Structure 1
Amino acid sequence: MEGSRPVSDMMSEAATETHGDTVQMNMIQAINSALDVMMGRDPAVVVMGEDVGYFGGVFRATAGLQQKYGKNRVFDTPITECGIIGVAVGMGAYGLRPVPEIQFADYIYPALDQLVSEAARLRYRSAGEFISPMTVRSPFGGGIFGGQTHSQSPEGIFTHVSGVKTVIPSTPYDAKGLLIAAIEDNDPVIFFEPKRIYNGPFDGHYDTPARSWAGHAHAQVPTGHYRIPLGEARVARAGEALTVLCYGTMVHVVENSVAEMGVDAEILDLRTLVPLDIEAIERSVRKTGRCMIVHEATRTSGFGAELSALVQERCFYHLEAPIERVTGFDTPYPHSLEWAYFPGPVRIREAINKILKD
């Protein structure tokens, strides 16, 4: 069957193989480059979503792709998230590799039935006869004063669904390598892009919007094909005093908070939540004896709760202090109080001081 075709030849290449020179890119440019590379390599890759064609996406992530590859491979859809994902499920079963964009993560809820009941289960329901090799891209998280309908962080919902992989990059280099790996994967992947850092890292402060874009806006990214395997965490900062588990925007917040405090913390950027690099987490926590978890989503039933349980189960006898969580609050997303909602330097410092005193 076309839907059960073997993994393409590109999957057999070395996981870190790179091609071409490196150039300065922000995350948006890196995502655009990944889509361009994959569409050039594999005619089965198609991009679809609201405003992704002629307009190039609300954040310009798909700019220029329709002009280069045509309207049959990069096309606009009606405003129907359920329809977008439903069509992508059919495309994948037929043999294509669709990359649908959900314009904001907050809009993904109407598509949950297609994602959970169809995409996630297709391989199992068909005993491997059909697959659903789609990569659902979506900007997520706060930072643009989008309010309750443009700023949510729903990653915890998808980490609960068997059969779906969840990826969240924090750097332009990782964004491109992880997106390529996701597109090449034969299972559905939810690829959440932290829009707070679309245009580059910042100084980690959330006290005023003006300060948030400070820092270098670009990073060196290869222009050609390379993959970062799903399920491998990155040590963003080595340290001995405690381990901080985080992902997405929070990696930059934690890095700057730790640097200001002068704490010898090890920062582990998870990069993919499912599959999770539990071995890297164990190594780090057993080395430091202390663990803090930081994420932007609400606290109750957030992914930090799963991380805390895993660390407790696997590293209990190595812990020298209780695990701390610094997260968003259990409230509807506060438009006017966005900066207070985010985990920021003040709350991170308080948690670190508490851990180190125990």
Structure 2
Amino acid sequence: MANIIPTMIRKFANPKVISSLPAATVARRTHFTYVADKEAPVDGPTTKMNMFQAINNGLDLALEVDQSALLFGEDVAFGGVFRCSINLQKKYGADRVFNTPLCEQGIAGFAIGVANAGATAIAEIQFADYIMPAFDQIVNEAAKMRYRSGNLFDCGSLTIRAPCGAVGHGALYHSQSPEAYFAHTPGLKIVIPRGPNKAKGLLLACIKEKDPCLIFEPKTLYRAAVEEVPVAPYECQIGKADILRSGADVTLVGWGTQVHVLLETADMAKKELGVNAEVIDLVSILPWDKETICNSVKKTGRVIIAHEAPKTSGFGAELAATIQEACFLHLEAPVQRVTGWDTPFPHVYEPFYLPDKYRCLDAIKKVIKY
């Protein structure tokens, strides 16, 4: 085993392996098929990258431009568990890219201090499941710093990255989606990318944002997601949803990996039911794009919200409440949520837990027949 692991790491980190993969639909996982963006977000030269390479490229550009930027976290110096920071310590030195103790509260506290001192802090929490020890630091310190200091300190230039979501074998401590916990906190910004192009653009936008940002990165997409990504730096707007497919019969809303589930569901709905679904990637959890969502629902009259996190108090509940309030007279059926169950995330029963295309298709049937 000791010999196998380094071999696997070298393989996954090898650009030649990635360049051999197609940039269209490239991988079928247990509950989704990845669908690449058809167009790059900006004009100019592109290169084929998977999502961890796109993040690595974004971090490289940020460190190169901003000499105050520091990148740190558990195992970050050798590249991190998912290889997102590979080769960056070699390029920028141990003073700027370094390991921390296994102490999430310490990572967040140090990051807050760095940001308050005027430097740029880019912190990695190795798994989103283990961000909870840092919860107090993030929601009671980082998010409130600007308010409590009367704008003397803003804790801007603080970005926290954390792998999240189902990966096929993560079970209860390595598969959770905790975005709703943090979405209740004024002062934070939260984004979740669906693939390499969004990951790089959102990362660079968060690093430049003058409020503390959380990026939850669906870990199953790190290698499954491959796209042509612009070489130059660019930013994706925080707070703006993307309409990935237009339709007039039902609105499907998701984020992260679930976007790809909904794209496949839309294909099935068209083929089996003759239903034209509009698919929207929410992209940004806080702030979220109420205008785009509500305009779509007013057009279709039906909406399904899907996410991996449990149903009770999941972020889908916030969307459903707002849609009911703003679009009540336009609705032809009750708002539907297709989510994880209100249980710990299982291991061998993961396929029964996840909101897959069949559960989403059943929800479409329900709202169409209502």
User: What is the CA-CA distance between 1:17 and the residue it aligns to?
Assistant: 9.0
Indicate the SS of the match to 1:326: strand
Distance 2:196 2:224 in 1: 8
Q: CA deviation at 1:112?
A: 0.6
The answer for the alignment partner of 2:239 in structure 1 is 231
Q: 1:237: how far off?
A: 1.0
Write the mapping of 1:293-332 to structure 2, written as runs, cut at 5 A.
Answer: 293-332=305-344
- The equivalent residue for 1:264 is 276
Match of 1:208 in 2: none
Rate the CA distance shift 1:315–1:200 in 2: closer, same or farther, 3 A: same
- 1:205: which partner in 2? none
- Once residues 224 and 154 of structure 2 are traced to their aligned partners in structure 1, the CA distance between those partners, rounded to angstroms, is 35
Q: What secondary structure, in the 3-state scheme, does the structure 2 residue paired with 1:199 have? A: helix
Q: Does residue 243 in structure 1 map to residue 267 in structure 2?
A: no
State the distance in 2 between where 1:327 and 1:132 align. 34
1:48 aligns with 2:60: no
Q: Report the TM-score when normalising by structure 2.
A: 0.86
Deviations 1:87-119 (A, max 9, x none): 000000001111100000011000011101110
| Contact 1:328–1:343, Cα closer than 8 Å, also in 2 | yes
| 2:219 aligns with one of 195, 201, 214 | 195
One-letter code of the match for 2:100?
Answer: T
What letter corresponds to residue 35 of structure 1 in structure 2?
L
Aligned-pair Cα RMSD in Å: 1.3
Q: Which of the numbers 124, 141, 157 marks the counterpart of 2:181?
A: 157
- Give the aligned residue type for 2:200: K
Query: Cα offset for 1:74?
Result: 0.6
Amino acid at match of 1:168: I
Matched with 2:230 is 222
Partner in structure 1 of residue 163 of structure 2 = 139
Correspondence 1:82 to 2:70: no
Q: Which residue of 1 aligns with 2:47?
A: 23
* Structure 1 counterpart of 2:300: 288
What CA deviation, in whole Å up to 9, does each residue of 1:211-236 have, x standing for no partner? Answer: xxxxxxx2111111101110010011
Whether the aligned pair in 1 keeps the contact of 2:46 and 2:230 (CA below 8 Å) is: yes
- Contact kept in structure 2, 1:19 and 1:223, CA below 8 Å: no
After superposition, the C-alpha distances for 1:272-321 in whole angstroms (9 at most, x for unaligned) are: 01011111111111111111100000000000000000000111111111
Q: Which one of 240, 246, 261 corresponds to residue 253 of structure 1?
A: 261
Deviation, structure 1 residue 260: 2.2
Aligned to 1:63: 86
Return 5+ residue gaps in structure 1 as ranges.
1-15, 202-217
Q: In the alignment, is the contact (CA less than 8 A) between 1:19 and 1:225 conserved in 2?
A: no
1:198 aligned counterpart, secondary structure: helix
How high is the sequence identity, in percent, across the aligned residues? 49
Is the aligned partner of 1:121 residue 2:144? yes
Flag structure 2 segments of 5+ consecutive residues without an equivalent: 1-39
In structure 1, how many angstroms separate the alpha carbons of the residues matched to 2:327 and 2:160? 34
Of 112-121 and 20-29, deviating more is: 20-29
User: Is 2:41–2:197's contact at 8 Å kept on the other side of the alignment?
Assistant: no
The one-letter code sitting in structure 2 at the alignment partner of 1:316 is: F
Alignment length (residue pairs): 326
What is the identity, as a one-letter code, of the residue corresponding to 1:114? Q
- TM-score for both structures, normalised by structure 1: 0.89
Shift of residue 144, structure 1, vs aligned partner: 3.3
